[in-house]
Amino acid sequence: MISNRDPTLSIIIPALNEAYSIATTLDAVAQLSERIEVLVVDGGSDDDTRKIAAARGAKVIGSERGRGRQMQVGACLALGDVFWFLHADTIVPKESANLIVAALADPEVVGGNFDVHFSGAGWAASFMTWLYPQLRRLGLCYGDSAMFVRREAYFRIGGFKALPIFEDLDLLRELRRIGKFVHLPSTVITSSRRFEERSFVATFTRWVFLQLLYWIGVSPSRLGRFYAPRVPPGGR
């Protein structure tokens, strides 16, 4: 249990046709003992995503489609002291919220993230699980690593922008300008479906190419023309 002085966590989950996975994500969140609220921001699902989320006690909010836009909508309606952004196919361990509270006891820390294990038996999942720690050494982390941020810091930098791609890297860059962004010693499990449902080599090559363009200064808005994520039944 946490004391009344510990922060409330607002868990914000953008979703679009996530009926296949969101129940498992919300069931894991329900195991957390800390003070939380859960907001599922739906981008226009035509499956049972909204129904499943509401049945599990989440506050379901409608939004225009777009992960950055959906997370910003959720943050503007959230009541917590800390915003914790989860993908709809990410499972958090029981100790994760407590670790966030402990990390934010340091006033210089504005946010952080977790290790990521990609589920799936294929080599793509194993490769991506290996790759993420290597990218972290380069200062990179992504939205599927369960990023969290202090409320004050989030609004101070303007929050997530309605970008078609790399809204997570944009937020990370802005956060590091105002404080410490920490990595916590715990692992979240996320789906590797977006790599395994399509040609991994083609998907990964395009991802690397877009990353390089982003870091040389090409705007995410322009890069979005080359990025058209498929929205399959069961998620995006």
Instruction: Return the CATH number at 70.
Output: 3.90.550.10
> Total domain count for the chain?
1
Q: Is residue 172 part of a domain?
A: yes
Q: Residue 221 pLDDT more than 60? A: yes
Q: Is residue 68 part of a domain?
A: yes
pLDDT-based confidence at 123, cuts 50/70/90? confident
Domain limits for position 126: 9-197
Q: Is residue 206 part of a domain?
A: no
Residue 235's pLDDT is what? 41
Q: Is residue 32 part of a domain?
A: yes
Q: What is the mean pLDDT of residues 13-36?
A: 94
Q: Is residue 229 part of a domain?
A: no
Q: Is residue 3 part of a domain?
A: no
Q: Residue 127 pLDDT more than 50? A: yes
Q: Residue 97 pLDDT more than 50? A: yes
Q: What is the pLDDT of residues 138-154, one digit of tens each?
A: 888 899 999 999 999 99
Mean of all residue pLDDT scores within the chain:
89
Q: Is residue 105 part of a domain?
A: yes
Q: What is the mean pLDDT of residues 178-189?
A: 96
Parallel, antiparallel or unpaired: strands 109-118 and 180-190: parallel
Q: What is the pTM of this model?
A: 0.88
Residue 5's pLDDT is what? 53
CA distance 188 to 113: 10
Q: Is residue 95 part of a domain?
A: yes
